[in-house]
Amino acid sequence: MAEKTGEQHVKYLLNAHGITPTQQRIKIANFLFKKQQHVSADQILSTINQGQQPVSKATVYNTLGLFANKGLLREVIIDPNKVFYDTNTKHHHHFYNTDTNTLTDVNDGEITIQNLPALPKGTDFHSVEVIIKVNNQ
């Protein structure tokens, strides 16, 4: 997703995805879509609550879930307790640094997946996503 700024554009984006643009959703979307990024719910919460109108933790989590369900974000699940929200909605792979707790994109074309197993009966192929866990030397 290209850089997104401006409240009117955010309202349009939310409406185009069937999301009612409430004040809290606009605030969260303004933060998320100003650039392509990988952020956790806690990072969003601490950043947007530095202003005068705080947003509750439940609102942040619910809004992120809604945005992901409507296709505005991708959830990248590192483990059951660690989820990042990616503003790049195209299928792609990631590096996760376990020391710095950061997620970065793997450049397109750097990973080739071959010899996938036969799919279970009654299913269709959707995507393959690779998360390469790294640490600092």
Q: What is the pLDDT of residues 30-78, one digit of tens each?
A: 999 999 999 999 999 999 988 778 899 999 999 999 999 999 999 999 9
Total domains in the fold of the chain: 1
- pLDDT digit string, tens, across residues 86-128: 999 998 999 999 999 999 999 988 998 889 899 999 999 888 8
Does 134 reside within a domain? no
Kindly tell me if the per-residue pLDDT of 1 is higher than 60: no
Contacts of residue 104, defined as CB under 8 A and 6 or more positions apart, other chains included, come to: 38, 94, 95, 97
What's residue 75's pLDDT?
95
> What distances in angstroms separate CA 31 from CA 27, 52, 64, 116, one per listed residue?
7, 15, 12, 38
| Segments forming the whole domain that contains residue 44 | 7-86
Per-residue confidence (pLDDT) for residue 28, from 0 to 100: 94
Q: Is 91 annotated as a binding residue?
A: yes
User: Mean pLDDT across the chain, nearest whole number?
Assistant: 91
Rounded alpha-carbon distances, angstroms, from residue 95 to 10, 29, 53, 88: 29, 25, 34, 14
User: The pTM is what?
Assistant: 0.86
Amino acid (one-letter) located at 78: I
In a domain, 23, yes or no: yes
Q: What pLDDT does residue 5 have?
A: 55
Domain CATH for 64: 1.10.10.10
User: Has residue 73 been placed in a domain?
Assistant: yes
Would you call 77 helix, strand, or coil by DSSP?
strand
